[in-house]
Structures are given as C-alpha cells and as structure tokens.
Amino acid sequence: APTRDVLLVSAIITVSLSVTVVLCGLCHWCQRKLGKRYKNSLETVGTPDSGRGRSEKKAIKLPAGGKAVNTAPVPGQTPHDESDRRTEPRSSVSDLVNSLTSEMLMLSPGSEEDEAHEGCSRENLGRIQFSVGYNFQESTLTVKIMKAQELPAKDFSGTSDPFVKIYLLPDKKHKLETKVKRKNLNPHWNETFLFEGFPYEKVVQRVLYLQVLDYDRFSRNDPIGEVSIPLNKVDLTQMQTFWKDLKPCSDGSGSRGELLLSLCYNPSANSIIVNIIKARNLKAMDIGGTSDPYVKVWLMYKDKRVEKKKTVTMKRNLNPIFNESFAFDIPTEKLRETTIIITVMDKDKLSRNDVIGKIYLSWKSGPGEVKHWKDMIARPRQPVAQWHQLKA
C-alpha cells in the first residue's frame, strides 16, 4: 500500500509539472517581463561624463602675443543632446521579418552605374554653423561654434560623440576644443572662444580651421570633417555667421584607398557571405613606399565581438586581389543589431601591424555603407558588390 501511494503521488507531480511547462510555453507573460527587464538594464548603463574637463580651458599664449580664452555657453540655453536610441527586444521573430520586409519594399535599389561610382562619389559629412568677428578696441578675435547638422555615424550604436577643434593656421600647436556632445548627430554647442591681444594685421594672415571629430574613449578619435576659411576674405568689423559643408579631413584619412567587396544574404540559411574581392590605391605604410595588406572581418553583435576571419597577406602590393569569401551565421532577429567591420591591415614582421583603413557595414553606418547593407537585404541570395572608401 505505501508503494502504491508513492507511485500515485509521483504520477500526480509529473502530470502537474507537464501541464505547467505546456502552459508556460503558451504564455507570453515571461517574455514580456524579460523584455522589460532587458530594456531597463540597457537604460541604466552609465556613460562617461560628456564634459571630459573640456570646459576648464586655460588661456593660451599665441606666438603673436595674444591668448585664447574659452567662455562659458550662453546661460539658460539647454543642450539639444539626442537620447540614445535603442530597439526593444521583440518577442516574435515574425514581427521583425515583417518590419524588414516593409523597409525593403520602400527601398529603391541603386543601379549598377551608381554602385560603380560609389567609391568616387562624395560622401555627405554634414555641415557646421559658426560665427567670427574682430573687436578693434580690445584687439580680440571672437569665434563662436554654434551647431552642426546631419553628421555621419561613427560608432557601432549608429551615432557619434562629436566635438570641434579650433586652429588659427599655420599655427597647429595651439588649439581649443568644444565639449563633447554624446550620441548626437545634430549637436548644439553655442561656445564662444576669444583670441585676445591679437593684432589685426596678424589676424588677416591666419586661416580659421575647424575640425569636427568623433570622441572615442578607448582609441584614437575619428575625424568626421573639416572647414577652413581665410580671415583676409571675411569682413571682421562685425560678427559674420556661416554655414559650411564639412569636407574630408586632409590629414591623410581621406587617401587610404578603396576596397571592393560583395555581400550575399540568405534568409533561409540565416547567413551572410562576405566576399573580399580586391583593393586599389592603398596607402603605403612601409618605408619602401608599399604595404603588405591583408583583411580582417569581424562580426559584431550589440558592440560585442562574435567571430573573426581574415584573408591571406599580399606582399608588397597596393592594389591586391584577394577573392576570399567568409560565411557568418546571423539569425534574422539579430540582423538589426549586427555590424560587420572590415579592416585592411599592413603586415609587419618586426613591429605591430598597422591599420590602413576600416569599413563599418550595418543598418546605421554611413550613407554608402547603409546603401550596401539595404541592397543586400533587398536582393536575397544575390551577391551585391560595391566599392567602399577606407576610413581612419
């Protein structure tokens, strides 16, 4: 009798657990709770102080005998920082597929002629608004950095952390900088800089040079674009306001070469094939005026490295032909948060390998990269080739 009772209780417990598991699989309450908890954990992640101590600027003694001073922003003016946009995890893969399909229907894939000229076309780097004027009584040049618009995304998250460096060329030793605006492609600075004790005859010999960069805490800051304006062509008797389109930086970041690659997306196999075809006009990194290039391909998911692959090294070649393909498994529900980083490297035997240039491919990269990514989605199971300009 006791054995029969034990068996009966065990059977009841087993049936109860089975029913609980079935009901839990049919219920979406846990998924909603986990989704909210995941979203809240993302929102609580802290970011470094955007000021970085940039507001505490010291006076700089210029060779002309003047000094540069950064004044505080206009009181009462609130910064227009954009909040970091994050996508809440979806509980259904079909929802994501539907959203991808709707975006693909709205997409008009570029022609083959557009793809052939993509590497030669000028990328939109945004524009910047600033004003400049001269006070003859106080011998002071005033430069005010106001705002920028439509800056390209430089970070994995699809945004940038822009700030501005200010020079009076040909002097590049002394510079002033604005504050960093976190996660903002349309930043407002409204910061004023004074170059005091600067004679007018010296001012008209200078060129105002503004360089917009993306701040990176753990590596080199990425140049976004630049503007230069000779002061002898500006009426400095009163403050003049300008809107100027940003141009590629002339510090060598725009002459790193180009890379031709193709992307092929297979939705049924949940995979992307990256084919590294060839490069041209690569920057010479060695003393002999050449390079030993190879290509690294990183698969990133939510800013985390997942998988790395690389090509063979091509010895002493600035126009190498690789023709190597790499397959990456990428589930459909992870496609939006996926970034493929292409890095062209110069191989060195006796020292650290040098980076020639990079390409970031995702939904949220630069215009050329986004176009390639969307063309890949719009043409499943078809290799889509495109030239890309290598960036610093």
**pLDDT tens-digit readout, 187-237:** 999 999 998 888 999 999 999 999 999 887 766 677 889 999 999 999 999
Q: Is the pLDDT of residue 114 over 50?
A: no
127-245 with 257-390: one CATH topology? yes
Average pLDDT over residues 139-147: 94
* Cα–Cα distance for residue pair 69/67, rounded to 1 Å: 7
At residue 72, does pLDDT exceed 80? no
Stretch 108-112: mean pLDDT, rounded?
35
Query: With 60 as the cut, is the pLDDT of residue 287 above it?
Result: yes
Report the alpha-carbon distance of residue 259 to residue 261 in Å, rounded: 6
pLDDT at position 96 is 41
Question: What is the predicted pLDDT for the residue at 295?
Answer: 96
| Mean model confidence pLDDT for the chain | 76
pLDDT number for residue 8: 81
How far apart are alpha carbons 176 and 195 in whole angstroms?
Answer: 10
The token duo for 389 is 């300009």
Distance, CA of 380 to CA of 269 (rounded, Å) = 11
For 127-245, CATH number out of 2.60.40.150, 2.60.220.10, 1.10.3720.10, 3.40.50.1860 equals 2.60.40.150
pLDDT, average across residues 330-349: 89
CATH superfamily assigned to domain 257-390: C2 domain (2.60.40.150)
Rg of the chain, C-alpha, whole Å: 27
Distance CA 129, CA 190 (A): 10
pTM: 0.45
User: 305-344 in b/e burial notation, b at 16+ Cβ within 10 A?
Assistant: eeeebebebbeeebebebebbbebebeebebebbbbbbbb
Task: Give the confidence band of 18 by pLDDT, cuts at 50, 70, 90.
Answer: confident
pLDDT bin (cut points 50, 70, 90) of residue 391 is confident
Q: What pLDDT does 52 receive?
A: 38
pLDDT at 344 over 90: yes
Q: Is 328 a residue whose pLDDT tops 80?
A: yes
**What integer is the mean pLDDT of 338-366?**
87
- Check if the beta carbon of residue 372 is closer than 8 Å to that of residue 119: no
No. of helices (H) and no. of strands (E), the chain: 6, 18
Pairing relation of β-strands 240-245 and 222-230? unpaired
pLDDT-based confidence at 89, cuts 50/70/90? very low
Helix (H) or strand (E) holding 340, with range, is strand 338-346
Split at pLDDT 50, 70, 90, the class of 1 is low
Sheet containing 354-361: order of strands: 304-310, 293-301, 338-346, 354-361
**Sheet (strand 258-266) strand order:** 321-329, 271-280, 258-266, 384-389
Return the biggest CA–CA distance within the chain.
111
Tell which wins on pLDDT, 240 or 65. 240
**pLDDT given at position 13:** 84
Q: How confident is the model at residue 297 (pLDDT cuts 50, 70, 90)?
A: very high
- pLDDT of residue 311 exceeding 90: yes
C-alpha distances in Å from residue 22, one per residue of 30, 71, 253, 291: 13, 66, 58, 61
User: What is the per-residue pLDDT for 155?
Assistant: 75
Segments making up each domain of the chain, as ranges = 127-245, 257-390
